[in-house]
Amino acid sequence: MSRAAAVTFKGTPMTLAGEAVKVGQAAPDFTIHYFEGGLKAITLADLKGKATILSVIPSLDTGVCKIQTKKFNEELSALAGNVNAVAVSLDLPFAMNRFCGAEEIKNLRVGSDYQNRNFGEAYGVLIEELKLLARSVFVIDKDGKVAYAEVVPEVTSEPNYAAAVEALKKAQ
């Protein structure tokens, strides 16, 4: 399934692959990868038991994605250890790791959907024309239900940080 003109990128309508994720539904399963002494996987099952925020970005190499990642890192410092926080993109795990080290990102893990884009399709945020993930934020409660879902209408705009963090606090 595809959703034509679901978002815009610099004003140009873009198509998203997959169905939109809705609040209240079971969070779709996924496998993303990170680098820590080798490539390792993160799945939905790895995140159960704690409320989780998934900060989805097109690429850490862009200004807005950098701002989003740093802002959530800062906002989540008070919740560190009590929640799961993952930044998801199609950047390679090695580049994501390097970025987090350089920018002192300590309150978010990173996960790359580069291998098969199953996260992007499962969460309905894979931009078909660009083969990048649309800017979005999902909060999953400790039982695996979607508590918050925001797909930012214009990919180059920032998400609603306050609403996402508030939903995360309520989902604990």
What φ, ψ does residue 166 adopt, rounded to 5°?
A: -65, -45
Element (H, E) at 147: strand 146-151
Residue 65 annotated in active site: yes
* Burial of residue 116 (number of CB atoms within 10 Å: 0-12, 13-18, 19+): exposed
Q: Which of 65, 87, 122, 133 is catalytic?
A: 65
Strand partners, 153: none
Q: How far is CA 19 from the centre of its chain?
A: 16
Token pair, residue 84, equals 């799961």
Give bridge partners of residue 84 from the DSSP assignment: 52
Distance CA 39, CA 73 (A): 23
* Positive/negative CA dihedral, 34, 40, 41, 46: negative
Give yes or no for a contact between 100 and 112, defined as CB atoms under 8 angstroms apart.
no
Q: Give the catalytic positions in this structure.
A: 65
